[in-house]
Amino acid sequence: MRAVVTGAAGFIGSHVAEILLRRGWAVLGIDDLSGGFEANLPAGIEFERLSILDPLDKVMGAFRPDFVYHLAAYAAEGLSHHIPVFNCRNNIEGTTNVLAAAYRAGVRHLVFTSSIAVYGHPSDGRAFSEEDPCHPCDPYGVAKLACELQIRTFREHYGRPDYTIFRPHNVYGPRQNISDPFRNVVGIFMRCALLGKRFPIFGTGTQTRSFSYVTHVATAIAVAPSVPRARNELFNVGADEITTIGQLGEIIAEVMGVQADLERLPARREVKHAHADHAKSDGVFSGDMPAAMSLREGLSAMAAHVRSNPVPPPTPCPSAIEIRDGLPPSWLRYAPPG
């Protein structure tokens, strides 16, 4: 089998590419290295340094993939309020470009990573189900939902490619970028631990999330085209263990061998409690999944990786700030002029 993986030098994309290579597939990675690192690319992959906004017909046509895994995106929900035009182009226009090029190249199945950001604020505290209505509350969630609809309507109109859409959440693990100041709270805390800095927490730290170890998520994504019950379906995928951001800081301090020192910052507008129901994905992919890993075990594995690799310089903001109103003061020093 032959597969193209967009975002292959990124976090989840590099793990998906690695799983496919282990299965004996030929894999072409596409990445512009704006948020990923060439060192993340697994051995044996072919690689093209391209943006998903670039013309892709030539590279798709030459490689002739059976499947496309579209993971390239800048996934920063909070920052998306302040870079809405970039967010729209990067997600909606980029996904449409990948989808159209995949169709013209004869691709049979497209796997897309969306986000539970499409659900917005929970109405009653329950975990989000795939059957719940979507009311995204940030431009990132809006864009991801638009991408889902584009993929579905494209298939309905043209008859292909088939698709599988995943809504992962709060994924962490080895190869996550720990130097992006705008996203990935696990990575931010681990970088602070390495550099002897305080862990920044917006508000009270009582916000809750379920942090998902990357291998669990990447495996479901990788095997999806080979699972008949996953064809033209949508799945939440991730962990069930509920943790507050404050508790997360305490555990990370422990596995990194430092004293927990939490810096309380002014609260920002965000979803307070975000969790997903995984009964559907568990039922379809249970036979393919690795053994479940507790949050402490997963953070320990990530900490070992982080300690054995150099800390990259801070990742720049991917765009000039388009709307500065409400931008958290702690982000101002990393934000280019708007």
What's residue 330's pLDDT? 82
What's residue 248's pLDDT? 96
CA–CA gap between residue 277 and residue 236 (Å, rounded): 7
pLDDT digits (tens, 9 = 90+) for 73-118: 998 889 999 999 999 999 999 999 999 999 999 999 999 999 999 9
- Report which DSSP code applies to 90: I
pTM exceeding the 0.85 threshold for the entire prediction: yes
Strand residues in the chain grouped as ranges (E): 2-6, 26-31, 46-49, 67-70, 109-113, 162-168, 171-172, 199-202, 208-209, 212-213, 233-237, 243-244, 262-265, 273-274
Least confident piece of the model among 21-30, 67-76, 184-193, 287-296: 287-296
The CA–CA distances, whole Å, from 250 to 188, 213, 299 equal 14, 18, 11
- Inform me whether the pLDDT recorded for 295 exceeds 70: yes
What's residue 265's pLDDT? 83
Question: Mean pLDDT across the chain, nearest whole number?
Answer: 94
* Mean pLDDT, residues 12-19 taken together: 98
pLDDT digits (tens, 9 = 90+) for 174-209: 999 999 989 899 999 999 999 999 999 988 889 999
What's residue 221's pLDDT? 98
What's residue 60's pLDDT? 97
Q: In the structure encoding, which two tokens stand for residue 319, read together?
A: 């765009």
CA 281 from centroid of its chain's CA atoms: 17
- Inform me whether the pLDDT recorded for 338 exceeds 60: no
Domain 2-174+213-239+276-292 in CATH: superfamily? NAD(P)-binding Rossmann-like Domain (3.40.50.720)
Query: What residues act catalytically?
Result: 140
pLDDT digits (tens, 9 = 90+) for 107-153: 999 999 999 999 998 867 789 999 999 999 999 999 999 999 999 99
CA–CA gap between residue 17 and residue 219 (Å, rounded): 10
* Mean pLDDT, residues 315-330 taken together: 90
pLDDT digits (tens, 9 = 90+) for 32-64: 999 899 999 999 999 999 999 999 999 999 999
CA–CA gap between residue 53 and residue 36 (Å, rounded): 16
- Inform me whether the pLDDT recorded for 225 exceeds 60: yes
